Amino acid sequence: MTQTHIESLTLLRPSDQVDVSNCDREPIHIPGYIQPHGVLFALHEPTLTIVQVSENSNEWLGVTPEQLLNQPLSCLLSEDEMHAVRQCLAGDFNYVNPLRIELNTPRGKIITHSVVHSMGSIAILEIEFGQTTLGQANLPERNDLTYFDFYRQVKAPIESLQKATNFEELCNQLVANVRHITGFDRVMIYRFAPFGSGDVIAEALRPDLVPYLGLHYPASDIPLQARHLYTLNHLRLVPDVIYTPVALIPTLNPITQAPLDLSWSVLRSVSPIHVEYMQNMGVRSSMSISLMRDRQLWGLIACHHSEPKLIPYFQRSVCEFMGQVGAFEINAKDELKDRDYQIKLNALKTSFFKSISQQSDVVAALTQSSTDLLDLVGATGAVILFQDELVVVGKTPSQDVLKPLIASTRRLK
């Protein structure tokens, strides 16, 4: 999937009604809204003048959007903080974020996390606080967390992934570790098929929940443009799906005269269709971690919770790192699994055809080693009809079912 593929979609207009029949064309990267647990600033580079701001700035900062628009970002940040933001924009912000910054507001100094990135001539600064429905004023996180704290958090989970002896054990360890760190009710690995459909291949869940393991989902569950955004942002958090979206002021960016592109945004508002989907599943909060293979989206670690849940940035960083290591290990064990299967299949073919060549009776040759026959075609049962002879191997329907089925097949010929 490439940006060209995304741009080739005929996207809906803002005035169009979105439903399940056209959600694959919903422009989810330009919703014009954010989630309410933070504030977003759109800044004109290189001056970093505020040209757009989320409508909830007064709620969190005590400053209205009207007071902030067309002001330099330095009205909120010290010279050192401004230098940190510029340094982040000048480098690879994927490796610099998040920034811990100190805001100077009418309510006093506020220390919190921020994420910075660029979209052309527009820089976007997002500041996370918490969520009013959770009763949190700031992220419940210590200010002195270090590399050693991070190392202690990831050491045991990463070792458990590396010790896994096969693909299934690895996937089970990964979901169990993410659930242990985050406390989500349900954590799954959702694997994509070549044409976008998917299935749940591993799951760790609260004991009283109905398992989703083994369930298959159509490609429409996660449309093309949503899968593209998962390749840009490898972690997506929705602390509470029941929220009132917060508008950006003004609606169109004054520099581009277009809706602000929020493809990289961590606060980007959620599609109403996705919100409805989550509510129908009884999910109140969710988090997803991308699993990449050869720079393509191979799958997702999908986390669900029945209550609002805000995961601190430190824990999210641990989970994202685990997703990266997990994806590497999954790719390695998946390739090993495929190679082992091909070796086994080639050995079966050699043995099977050698056996057939030594038999004069075709049916006897096919059924001499029934296990080899079934393994060769990946089946649990087979029916062999040769002339008037009917032979069954493995698990098959009864003769009462088979005979009418065979008769109808002959009529079709």
316 shares a domain with 289 = yes
215 shares a domain with 161 = yes
Would you say residue 70 lies in a domain?
no
pLDDT for the residue 145:
55
Q: Which residues are within 8 A (CB) of 227 and not within 5 positions of it... i.e. 6 or more apart?
A: 1, 192, 196, 297
Query: Contact, 99 vs 113, CB < 8 A?
Result: yes
156 shares a domain with 214 = yes
292 shares a domain with 404 = no
Query: What are the structure tokens assigned to 349, written together?
Result: 């073919």
* Mean pLDDT, 10 residues at a time, the chain of 413 residues: 45 50 71 95 96 97 96 95 89 70 90 87 90 39 59 87 91 96 97 92 97 94 90 93 96 96 94 92 96 93 96 88 92 75 72 67 68 76 78 83 77 57
375 shares a domain with 342 = no
pLDDT for the residue 412:
55
Q: What is the pLDDT of residues 176-213, one digit of tens each?
A: 999 999 999 999 999 999 888 999 999 999 999 999 99
Would you say residue 246 lies in a domain?
no
pLDDT for the residue 2:
44
pLDDT for the residue 140:
42
386 shares a domain with 329 = no
383 shares a domain with 325 = no
pTM: 0.76
Would you say residue 210 lies in a domain?
yes
Would you say residue 7 lies in a domain?
no
Which residue range forms the structural domain that includes residue 373?
361-412
Would you say residue 85 lies in a domain?
no
pLDDT for the residue 278:
93
Check which CATH number belongs to the domain holding 322 and give it.
3.30.450.40
346 shares a domain with 390 = no
Would you say residue 223 lies in a domain?
yes
Query: Sign of dihedral through CA atoms 86, 89, 95, 99?
Result: positive
Residue ending a domain, among 358, 387, 402, is 358
Would you say residue 310 lies in a domain?
yes
| Domain count along the chain | 2
pLDDT for the residue 252:
96
Alpha-carbon distance of 15 to 26, in angstroms, equals 11
Would you say residue 218 lies in a domain?
yes
231 shares a domain with 290 = yes
pLDDT for the residue 168:
93
199 shares a domain with 166 = yes
Alpha-carbon distance of 321 to 201, in angstroms, equals 20
294 shares a domain with 159 = yes
406 shares a domain with 293 = no
